[in-house]
């Protein structure tokens, strides 16, 4: 049984910010120095003076040859994550990490004459043992296999080297470390994450360093891995870039050797992108393909004096395979400032609307409705960013053309913007039922290979059985993807409540004002279609999205009336995007982002700015309320949240096996039987007060506000368990060997917050 998955490091986002604004985590860490050690060399003694020797004839006695001896040489070859030369085997003992063994390393003993005295290969867990035969001790060498299967490893920087001398009698406990230098970190690195806010860049106040309150004009912030509490105020975290400089971001990497942050543009409803460049190589180029860079300097970061600037833009970059610029703005163009659309003018007429329709008089009518935003989320701009083990190549997912782009990482700002790719773009494959429904997004790099996540959205068919996520392996050496995905997961598993109150997390819930039911089935046994956060196919248009709304305060809920709820609507329609990939040892951890959070916002308005267009005449499926009465107006505010998820797939020796009812790789979490995850079998409560059986989840404490509502000291089995039950935001960070994974998550202290948490892997 694993320990509780507990939130620890958190940061707050206020309600005046767009709700889902902390999507991805990246570590700022010290780079492991390259250490080369040599044995000291003693000076040769001065020659003795010549001396005349008497002529004495003598015969040396015959000597018997030394008899060969045998000895056992044994130990473990391991990954020395913290570079101290000692293998760590317990999370409970400082430095609180576990370093796994390495199979496949060749261990060879040589005698004094250079002859092979014995040899073996490390097996499962890195363990080895063999007998060596010889005289005068042995020289033992540890070498990586010639097939380059472990070429990403280097000899450890401390402890026994890859050449060790042992006595004739052998030696036990000879543990030798190797490591991939990218795995090294100090004990409390900073985590950086994007942040976003509503509206145009021009509407944001100037950034004020050291402010003791929260401010919206921040796009890259950082907190310590072990930090706790409400860190929303500017003086409680580091700020590396502003929204005025970059606009909305998602994917990020950090090149440790040069202290360089790179972050990619992300297109999100109701939030702006970065500015166009007005000179040089990128003069007038649309910013949807922009990647921004900022160097981390000593001292407290200040984006006013060390601003983020454009590192590269995929909308103008040369393909080395053709020698010319990749054509046709491959990352897309900003629809808010294209053709006759210009949100900056402030009137609805400049974004396709007519009349006033109760639009706010703050000069941001187009931004409040964002009529061109909804359809373009996930279709233009950039997805995740990743770097290789050597920190020399940057990988970028282009959402618009669904290809993988590779750029050199150049830490010298004088060389920016980068004008040429490191390799030609590569199409990202999929096995979706309808290929055009595939949306790539997530990236993860592990031991020489890149892993790319693809979501089969079922958008064209609306067939929920076609919803799945795939992980593909890309080999940088061959510039090719594998013939099939290395892992895939169907997304039809049950998830938690959109909102639950006065109920236990693993029993009947009081949801939506209807008592004594759970989120999957009504007590009558009928399917509960309005309370759960089960994944849905991506909607084809805004009307469908709104009509099938399952929000706690929405026209789609039975009993909802205009008089009781006024013009405030909650819009929840969970549709998945595999947005990040991390590795816990050899295990896959998949971060899912709910695109509903990127298509909605906080106190925003409908993208339907023409009251007579597309209203429809049907009723809401779950309530009978006429859709037309709501689709024909846009004078109401609505909130929307992102209800993401986190799944683990454990290495089985030849592939990955998805977690099952809260168990993965032999470890079972407290999320077993909580009714909110994948399982090969399970039942819903058959009677009032009965628990779920099966359908548990490994990372279980993704509810809010707060960590199991600490203000009322409520646990997962408490009747005070209140709030959203799926609050993951899709970003992940795992440091090699550590017991916890860091994630981006919502509802930390109150509804609408965004922050960081740590969940136990063990």
Residue 629's pLDDT is 58
Q: Flag whether pLDDT at 360 surpasses 80.
A: no
Q: Based on the fold, state whether residues 216 and 99 are members of the same structural domain.
A: no
Cis preceding linkage at 519, omega within 30: no
Helices (H), 452-576: 542-547, 562-565
Measured between alpha carbons, how far is 12 from 191 in angstroms, rounded to an integer?
A: 15
pLDDT digits (tens, 9 = 90+) for 645-684: 999 999 999 999 999 999 999 999 988 988 899 999 888 7
Residue 45's pLDDT is 41
Measured between alpha carbons, how far is 422 from 102 in angstroms, rounded to an integer?
A: 32
Q: Which one, of 279, 217, 277, 222, lies nearest residue 248 by Cα?
A: 217
Q: Flag whether pLDDT at 439 surpasses 50.
A: yes
Q: Based on the fold, state whether residues 127 and 230 are members of the same structural domain.
A: no
Number of domains in the chain: 2
Mean pLDDT within 299-319: 98
Mean pLDDT within 405-434: 99
Contact assessment for residue 396 and residue 381, using Cβ atoms and an 8 Å cutoff: no
pLDDT category at 74 given cuts 50, 70, 90 is: very high
Residue 428's pLDDT is 99
Q: Based on the fold, state whether residues 520 and 593 are members of the same structural domain.
A: yes
442 bridge partner residues: none
Domain annotation covers residue 403: yes
Domain annotation covers residue 360: no
Domain boundary (142, 159, 183) is at 183
Q: Based on the fold, state whether residues 302 and 239 are members of the same structural domain.
A: yes
Domain boundary (162, 183, 204) is at 183
pLDDT category at 364 given cuts 50, 70, 90 is: low
Pairing of strands 138-143, 106-110: antiparallel
> Which of 292-306, 589-603, 628-642 has the weakest average pLDDT?
628-642
590 bridge partner residues: 581, 647
Domain annotation covers residue 546: no
700 bridge partner residues: none
How far from 164 is each of 139, 140, 143, 611, CA to CA, in Å?
A: 6, 5, 12, 80
Q: Flag whether pLDDT at 323 surpasses 60.
A: yes
Domain annotation covers residue 370: no
Pairing of strands 176-179, 69-79: parallel
What Rg, from alpha-carbon coordinates, does the chain have?
30
Q: Based on the fold, state whether residues 290 and 411 are members of the same structural domain.
A: yes
Mean pLDDT estimate for the chain: 84
DSSP 585-643: TTEEEEEEEETHHHH--SSB--S---TTSS--SPBPTTT--BSHHHHT----EEEE---
pLDDT category at 614 given cuts 50, 70, 90 is: very low
pLDDT digits (tens, 9 = 90+) for 441-482: 999 999 999 999 999 999 999 999 999 999 999 999 999 999
Q: Flag whether pLDDT at 426 surpasses 60.
A: yes
Q: Flag whether pLDDT at 756 surpasses 80.
A: yes
Contact assessment for residue 471 and residue 485, using Cβ atoms and an 8 Å cutoff: yes
Q: Flag whether pLDDT at 714 surpasses 50.
A: no
Contact assessment for residue 604 and residue 598, using Cβ atoms and an 8 Å cutoff: no
Q: Flag whether pLDDT at 113 surpasses 80.
A: yes
Domain annotation covers residue 78: yes
Q: Based on the fold, state whether residues 681 and 645 are members of the same structural domain.
A: yes
**What is the reported pTM?**
0.89
Q: Based on the fold, state whether residues 271 and 287 are members of the same structural domain.
A: yes
Contact assessment for residue 609 and residue 634, using Cβ atoms and an 8 Å cutoff: yes
State which residues form the domain around 320: 26-30+185-333+380-428+436-538+575-600+641-760
pLDDT category at 235 given cuts 50, 70, 90 is: very high
More confident residue, 303 or 31: 303
Pairing of strands 116-121, 106-110: antiparallel
Measured between alpha carbons, how far is 306 from 262 in angstroms, rounded to an integer?
A: 14
Measured between alpha carbons, how far is 376 from 400 in angstroms, rounded to an integer?
A: 9
pLDDT digits (tens, 9 = 90+) for 123-158: 999 999 999 998 889 999 999 999 999 999 999 988
Domain annotation covers residue 614: no
Contact assessment for residue 499 and residue 511, using Cβ atoms and an 8 Å cutoff: yes
Domain annotation covers residue 504: yes
Q: Based on the fold, state whether residues 169 and 190 are members of the same structural domain.
A: no
Domain annotation covers residue 10: no
Q: Which CATH number covers residue 722? A: 2.120.10
Residue 29's pLDDT is 42
Q: Based on the fold, state whether residues 531 and 442 are members of the same structural domain.
A: yes
Q: Based on the fold, state whether residues 164 and 301 are members of the same structural domain.
A: no
Q: Based on the fold, state whether residues 179 and 159 are members of the same structural domain.
A: yes
pLDDT category at 617 given cuts 50, 70, 90 is: low
* Tokens, residue 474: 């890309």
Q: Based on the fold, state whether residues 593 and 677 are members of the same structural domain.
A: yes
Domain boundary (183, 214, 229) is at 183
Q: Which CATH number covers residue 121? A: 2.60.40.10
């Amino acid at each position: 049984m694993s320990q509780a998955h507990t939130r620890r490091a958190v940061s707050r986002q206020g309600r005046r910010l767009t709700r889902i604004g902390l999507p991805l985590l990246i570590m700022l860490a010290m780079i492991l120095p390259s250490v080369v050690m040599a044995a000291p060399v003693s000076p040769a003694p001065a020659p003795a003076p010549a001396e005349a020797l008497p002529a004495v004839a003598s015969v040396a006695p015959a000597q018997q040859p030394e008899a060969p001896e045998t000895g056992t040489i044994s130990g473990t070859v391991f990954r020395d994550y913290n570079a101290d030369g000692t293998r760590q085997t317990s999370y409970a003992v400082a430095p609180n990490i576990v370093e796994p063994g390495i199979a496949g390393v060749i261990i060879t003993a040589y005698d004094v004459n250079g002859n092979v005295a014995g040899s073996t290969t490390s097996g499962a867990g890195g363990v080895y043992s063999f007998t060596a035969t010889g005289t005068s001790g042995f020289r033992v060498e540890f070498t990586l296999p010639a097939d380059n299967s472990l070429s990403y490893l280097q000899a450890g920087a401390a402890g026994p080297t890859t050449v060790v001398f042992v006595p004739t009698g052998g030696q036990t406990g000879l543990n030798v470390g190797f490591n991939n230098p990218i795995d090294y970190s100090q004990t409390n690195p900073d985590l950086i994450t994007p942040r976003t806010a509503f509206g145009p860049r021009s509407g944001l106040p100037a950034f004020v360093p050291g402010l003791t309150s929260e401010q919206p004009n921040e796009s890259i912030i950082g907190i310590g891995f072990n930090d706790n509490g409400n860190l929303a105020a500017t003086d409680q975290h580091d700020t590396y870039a502003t929204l005025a400089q970059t606009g909305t971001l998602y994917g990020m990497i950090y090149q440790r050797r040069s202290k360089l942050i790179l972050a990619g543009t992300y297109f999100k409803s109701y939030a702006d992108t970065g500015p166009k460049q007005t000179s040089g190589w990128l003069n007038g180029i649309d910013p949807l393909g922009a990647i921004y860079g900022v160097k981390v300097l000593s001292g407290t970061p200040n984006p006013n004096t060390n601003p983020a600037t454009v590192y590269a833009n995929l909308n103008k970059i040369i393909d080395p395979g053709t020698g010319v610029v990749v054509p046709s703005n491959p990352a897309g163009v900003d629809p808010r400032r294209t053709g006759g659309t210009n949100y900056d003018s402030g009137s609805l007429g400049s974004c396709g609307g007519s009349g006033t329709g109760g639009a706010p008089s703050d000069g941001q009518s187009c931004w409040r409705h964002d009529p061109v935003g909804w359809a373009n989320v996930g279709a233009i701009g950039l997805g995740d960013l990743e770097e290789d083990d050597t920190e020399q190549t940057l990988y970028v997912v282009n959402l618009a053309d669904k290809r993988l782009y590779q750029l050199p990482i150049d830490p010298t700002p004088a060389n920016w913007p980068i004008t040429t790719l490191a390799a030609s773009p590569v199409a990202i494959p999929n096995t979706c039922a309808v290929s055009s429904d595939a949306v790539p997004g997530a990236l993860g790099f592990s031991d020489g290979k890149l892993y790319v996540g693809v979501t089969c959205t079922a958008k064209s068919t609306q067939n929920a059985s076609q919803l799945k996520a795939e992980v593909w392996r890309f080999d940088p050496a061959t510039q090719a993807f594998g013939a099939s995905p290395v892992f895939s997961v169907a997304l039809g598993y049950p998830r938690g409540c959109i909102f639950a109150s006065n109920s236990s997390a693993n029993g009947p819930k009081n949801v939506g004002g209807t008592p004594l039911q759970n989120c999957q089935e009504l007590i009558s046994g009928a399917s509960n279609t309005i309370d759960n956060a089960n994944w849905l196919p991506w909607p084809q248009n805004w009307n469908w999205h709104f009509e099938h709304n399952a929000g706690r305060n929405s026209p789609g809920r039975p009993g909802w009336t205009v008089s009781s709820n006024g013009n405030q609507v909650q819009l929840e329609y969970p549709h998945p995007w595999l947005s990040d990939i991390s590795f816990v040892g050899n295990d896959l951890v998949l971060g899912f982002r709910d695109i509903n959070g990127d298509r909605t916002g906080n106190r925003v308005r409908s993208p339907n700015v023409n009251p007579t267009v597309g209203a429809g005449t049907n009723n809401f499926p779950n309530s009978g309320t006429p859709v037309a009465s709501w689709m024909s107006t846009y004078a109401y505010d609505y909130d929307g949240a992102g209800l993401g998820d986190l799944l683990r797939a454990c290495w089985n020796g030849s592939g990955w096996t998805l977690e099952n009812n809260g168990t993965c790789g032999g470890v079972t979490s407290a999320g077993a039987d909580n009714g909110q995850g994948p399982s090969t079998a399970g039942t819903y409560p058959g009677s009032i007060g009965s628990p779920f059986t099966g359908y548990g989840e490994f990372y279980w404490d993704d509810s809010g506000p707060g960590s199991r509502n600490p203000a009322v000291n409520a646990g997962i089995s408490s009747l005070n368990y209140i709030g959203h039950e799926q609050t993951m935001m899709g970003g992940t960070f795992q440091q090699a060997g550590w017991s916890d994974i860091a994630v981006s998550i919502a509802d930390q202290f109150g509804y609408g917050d965004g922050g960081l948490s740590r969940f136990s892997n063990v």
